[in-house]
Amino acid sequence: MLTLFYGPGACSMAAHIVLEESGEKYEPKKMDLAAGEQRTEAYMKIHPLGRVPALRLDDGEPLTENTAILPYLGKRFDLWPKDPLGESKALSLIGFFATSVHPAHAHVGRPERYTADQSAFPGIKDMGLKTFHNYLKQIDSMLAGREWFFDRYSVLDPYGFVFYT
Amino acid sequence: MAELKNYTAHKDRMLKRAAVGRVVADEKIKV
């Protein structure tokens, strides 16, 4: 059985939604991020960076990062493009979410990741907010005239949803 | 966010899915 380690309000919500929709029995492990549960020795064995999401697979092996977890779940639950070009486009969009949109949001919410100089926090937050909003406009354009990010509902939709919340 | 009409419509479609509603409630997300 799959086990999902997630934090309320974090980007792990995408995998949480996919698993909840799958109909397959899984074990949800809610992490208390504010209390630092993600940095305990036990969890660091699952995800050495101390972040969510992490997925413990049926054989006990851990899988980390949305860039890996979402394609895995998508293929497992038929929420992933089957043709090579569609798959490449899905990976491209996951990459955009994970390496551009999410870090821009982190500049707003977690400026301490980028400098120890607290006097620089307002500038980092301000630039992060502008960048994040520009990315949201790009996402808005991607969805023009379409119901979902691809021809049918896929794991990209819960991931895109995360940034609206 | 409301000015992002396509994205907002997508969000509304997502919220109509029962599983999404369960997760949003579990994670105490205000959308």
Domain ranges of chain B: 1-31
Q: What ipTM was reported for this prediction?
A: 0.95
Looking only at Cα atoms, what is the longest distance across chain A?
49
Residue A60 lies inside a defined structural domain of this protein: yes
CB–CB of B7 and A21 under 8 A? no
Write the pLDDT tens digit of every residue in A71-104. 999 999 999 999 999 999 999 999 999 999 999 9
CB–CB of A161 and B9 under 8 A? no
Q: What is the pLDDT of residue A100?
A: 95
Considering the domain architecture, whether residues A68 and A89 belong to the same structural domain is answered as no
- Which CATH number characterizes residue A48's domain? 3.40.30.10
Considering the domain architecture, whether residues A46 and A26 belong to the same structural domain is answered as yes
CB crowding B13-25: b at 16 or more within 10 Å, else e: bbeebebbeebbe
Q: What is the pLDDT of residue B1?
A: 82
B-chain residue closest to A133, CA distance: B1
Q: Touching check for B19 and chain A: CB below 8 Å?
A: yes
Residue A163 lies inside a defined structural domain of this protein: no
Q: Is A6 helix (H, G, I), strand (E, B) or coil?
A: strand
Q: Touching check for B16 and chain A: CB below 8 Å?
A: no
A-chain residue closest to B28, CA distance: A8
If you average pLDDT over every residue of chain A, what do you get?
95
CB–CB of A8 and B11 under 8 A? no
Q: What is the pLDDT of residue B31?
A: 82
Q: What is the pLDDT of residue A161?
A: 97
Considering the domain architecture, whether residues A69 and A90 belong to the same structural domain is answered as no
Considering the domain architecture, whether residues A37 and A10 belong to the same structural domain is answered as yes
Domain membership of residue A13 as a residue range: 2-76
Considering the domain architecture, whether residues A56 and A119 belong to the same structural domain is answered as no
**pTM, rounded to two decimals:** 0.93
DSSP run (H or E) holding A29: strand A26-30
Q: What is the pLDDT of residue A163?
A: 94
CB–CB of B7 and A158 under 8 A? no
What region, left, alpha or beta, does residue A10 occupy, with left being phi > 0 and alpha being psi -120 to 50 degrees?
Answer: beta
- Which CATH number characterizes residue A88's domain? 1.20.1050.10
Residue ranges in chain A modelled with pLDDT below 50: none
Considering the domain architecture, whether residues A38 and A63 belong to the same structural domain is answered as yes
Residue A127 lies inside a defined structural domain of this protein: yes
Residue finishing a domain among A76, A94, A112:
A76
Structurally, chain A folds into a number of domains equal to 2
A-chain residue closest to B12, CA distance: A161
Considering the domain architecture, whether residues A17 and A68 belong to the same structural domain is answered as yes
